[in-house]
Amino acid sequence: MAREYRLNPKVEIPEGVTLDKPGIYEWAITYPDGSIRRYVGKYTRRSRPMREYRANVERILDKRPYRKASPEGFRQVHRELATAASEGRMVVLTILENVLPEDLNRREQALIRERGATLNGSGTASAATS
């Protein structure tokens, strides 16, 4: 069955950055008022930013559980992406940079602060503009 609400982000990968090495990604969701809210995450497997979020969005929109042991375990970013997908709003997934595995946590936290990533749960509920 075709899903009209499928998450179909614009994917941006700057020159010199690759999904084949660990790195940091950012989801940027545009809201009806023109504001943009961001989520910054890290990955060691390319499926993390490219497939796992899409699968979680589809679970939400199909009213399926997150996991058997944690049916309501979706994070705020999953719910925001699902709403954006169902409303046809612009979503951009950017692979920001590659990072050595031992530096992933530190760099992720720095980029959350630098980029005003309010969807990481550390920011306020108000939207951050780009």
Residue 116 lies in a domain: yes
Q: Which domain holds residue 26?
A: 10-120
Residue 129 lies in a domain: no
Its pTM stands at 0.86
Residue 3 lies in a domain: no
pLDDT per position as a tens digit, 79-103: 999 999 999 999 999 999 999 999 9
As for how many domains the chain has, the answer is: 1
CB 86: neighbour CB atoms within 10 A?
16
What CATH number should be reported for the domain holding residue 26?
3.40.1440
Give which of 35, 13, 44 is closest to 26, Cα–Cα: 13
> What is the pLDDT at residue 124?
39
